Amino acid sequence: MLVRHILEKKGAAVYAIGPDTPVLEAIRSMAAHHIGALLVMRGDELAGILSERDYARKIVLHGRSSSDTPVAQIMSSPVVTVTPDDTIEACMRLVTERRFRHLPVVEGGRVVGVLSIGDLVKTLLEEQRQTIEHLEAYIRS
């Protein structure tokens, strides 16, 4: 299965903020949308990604002010991205080896979606369930 198949099912909603946005505003946006990361965009350009992990490690642990710190100072950059034609297995390798939880999907230099580790696990579990059903049907016939 390919990334594009997941995006077709889940939709291609992308939540983003600008690099000069205060971290507090970004955290509020994540809470409002029930997500764990926001893309940081300069116009149409992907500048970085801000995750709850970035917030915890770079604001909370260092005693910085989330209302005075711009997102650009704590975002992760450069961002590792995938394309709609990448396989789910390749994405799982990336999130496992690099310890990411979110992968922006870029096509033709434009962000077209974001995958979470939850999206990937859900898809793999569904694929395994279907394989088991097919094997059980084959054995019964």
**Residue 40's pLDDT is what?**
98
Give 12's DSSP letter.
-
SS3 state at 115:
strand
Average pLDDT per consecutive 10 residues, the chain (141 residues; last block may be shorter): 93 92 96 96 95 90 88 95 96 94 95 95 90 89 85
pLDDT number for residue 105: 97
Residue 11 dihedral angles phi and psi, to the nearest 5°:
95, 170
Looking at residue 61, what is its pLDDT?
A: 82
Percentage helix, strand, coil, to 5, in the chain?
Answer: 45, 25, 30
pLDDT at 12 (0 to 100):
78
For residues 10 and 35, give the distance between their C-alpha atoms in angstroms, rounded to a whole number: 14
pLDDT the model gives residue 83? 97
Under DSSP, the state recorded for 21 is S
User: What pTM does this model have?
Assistant: 0.87
pLDDT number for residue 116: 94
pLDDT score at 11 = 83
**Helix ranges (DSSP H) in the chain:** 3-10, 23-33, 52-55, 88-98, 117-140
pLDDT number for residue 77: 94
For residue 2, the model assigns a pLDDT of 94
Per-domain residue ranges for the chain? 3-140
Class of domain 3-140: alpha beta
